Amino acid sequence: MSQKKSMLELHRMGVEEYKKVEKLPVAVVLDNVRSEMNVGSVFRTADAFLIERIVLCGITPQPPKPEIHKTALGAEDSVSWQYYPTTLEAIDRLKADGYVICSIEQVHDSVSLEKFSVDRGRGVAIVFGNEVKGVSQQVVDASDQCIEVPQQGTKHSLNISCCAAIVMWHVYQSMTLK
């Protein structure tokens, strides 16, 4: 039977070293996500996949918050983040910086995640929406494209932290493993 690796064997870097490492040109945008635990989970996943930054918008909680820290396990200190009063302000800034805006939402003409490819030379902003309402229609309208995570069960959506992990893994694979 295999033995679990020790913390030393995992060769994880500290926060200061992490901040110096080159990140993927990916901004994860949270459009009015209400749960501190979901925000913390997104921070932790972003840390795992070397995501450049998280953009918190509207009512999305900002660090420091106890429930963010509880699920982020300190990733709120390693991953860069910004706050904008509205998601549209964030989108405008990201577009001006050359990012392709991709909302994760079920819309007509969405691209299924497995068919979504990332241009390695260009920044991509991935927008995740509110736990109940999803990505706002205004933000969908301002997006360059929408991506949908294929699902087969009875529920019409995934928890934002689960969805974000799936999408970040796909983007990480697209930018590093191929």
| Structure confidence at residue 39 (pLDDT) | 98
Predicted confidence pLDDT, tens digits, the chain (178 residues): 899 998 789 988 999 999 999 999 999 999 999 999 999 999 999 999 999 999 999 999 999 999 999 999 999 999 999 999 999 999 999 999 999 999 999 999 999 999 998 887 899 999 999 999 999 999 999 999 999 999 999 998 999 999 999 999 999 999 997 5
| Structure confidence at residue 118 (pLDDT) | 86
CB 43 within 8 A of CB 70: no
For the chain, what are the domain ranges?
22-176
The amino acid present at 17, given as its one-letter code, is E
Q: Could you give the C-alpha distances from 159 to 19, 59, 120, in angstroms and in order?
A: 28, 17, 28
Fold of the 22-176 domain: Alpha/beta knot (3.40.1280)
Q: Kindly report whether the peptide bond that precedes residue 64 is cis, defined as omega within 30 degrees of 0.
A: yes
Q: Could you give the C-alpha distances from 89 to 83, 117, 139, in angstroms and in order?
A: 10, 26, 10
| Structure confidence at residue 178 (pLDDT) | 58
Which pair of tokens denotes residue 47?
């840390």
Which pair of tokens denotes residue 51?
């995501």
Q: E-strand spans in 5-113? A: 24-31, 51-57, 80-84, 100-104, 111-112
What own/partner pairs with CB < 8 Å and gap ≥ 24 does 134-140 have? 134/105, 134/106, 135/31, 135/103, 135/104, 135/105, 136/31, 136/32, 136/87, 138/87, 138/88, 139/31, 139/87, 139/88, 139/91, 139/103, 140/103, 140/105, 140/107
For the entire predicted model, the pTM comes to: 0.96
CB 21 within 8 A of CB 141: no
CB 100 within 8 A of CB 119: yes
